[in-house]
Copies of this chain bind each other. A is one copy, B any other.
Amino acid sequence: MRSYKQFCAIAKALDVIGDRWNLLIVRELLLQQPCRYTDLHKGLPGIATNLLAERLRDLEREGVVSREEAPPPIATAVFRLTPRGQELKAILLELGRWGAPLMTEPDEQDARRGHWLAVPISLLVSDRTPDQPPVAIELRTGEDVITVETGDGKVHPRLGAAEKPDLVLTGPPQLLVGVLTGQLNLTTARAGGLQTQGNAKVLRRFRPEPAELPGGAEPLDE
């Protein structure tokens, strides 16, 4: 936790959550809290185990993360975000929005986790016809299963299987995202290894979100 020692709100924020891995730990907790230590470690490939332990102590001391000793039956602790930690969601969403265009060229070296898809999906896609009855799509990639539901104009991803999915898509992450955003048509995606099960027409419900923000030229207004 090295401080920038600058009397500036942005610098103070970075003093707390700017260290390497910190924001990704928050990402994991946002996506699947409450979390055991091992769950976090699985969701953060590449982190050294001692670093994860140290970061969790730091974030706990700063009031971002809370550690609860689980009740007697289980001999383990679970981690959650405090309300203060929850407020980091806006930052994470903006980071995800800014980083989404960098996902075009999937590096073979990159680690993949299905639940990470929840970030771009809710940002990149919306419901084209909110009046129609709700729709559920199940995405399977590797061992991860996530469900995408829509019906109110927005798209809600969550971890876990759907009860009665209208459609099940199985395949590598970038194919799933490509099909949802409409950048890839089904024929191409199937040729690339996508498997579908159910009513593929429900994909028409999804519409890509406008990608670009205005990005005003004026320095720091609004």
Chain A positions within 8 Å of B, measured between CB atoms, are 4-16, 18, 20, 23-24, 27, 30-33, 45-46, 83, 86-100, 102-103, 106-107, 109-113, 116, 118-120, 122-123, 154, 156-158, 173-174, 213, 215-217, 219-222
When the two chains form their complex, are residues B110 and A5 in contact, meaning their CB atoms are under 8 A apart? yes
Does B45 lie within 8 Å of A13, measured CB to CB? no
Nearest-CB residue, chain B, relative to A20: B18
Sample of 13 A–B contacts (CB below 8 Å): A6-B45, A7-B103, A9-B99, A9-B119, A11-B116, A14-B24, A31-B220, A32-B219, A33-B219, A83-B215, A91-B94, A92-B220, A122-B220
Contacts of A156 in B (CB 8 A): 221
Given A10-B24, A18-B20, A215-B83, CB of A220 within 8 Å of CB of B95: no
Neighbour of A213 across the interface among B90, B99, B217, CB < 8 A? B90
9 closest Cβ pairs, A-B complex? A13-B99, A8-B116, A12-B102, A9-B99, A7-B110, A86-B215, A12-B99, A9-B96, A91-B94
Known: A118-B220, A157-B220, A219-B33. A95 touches B86 (CB 8 A): no
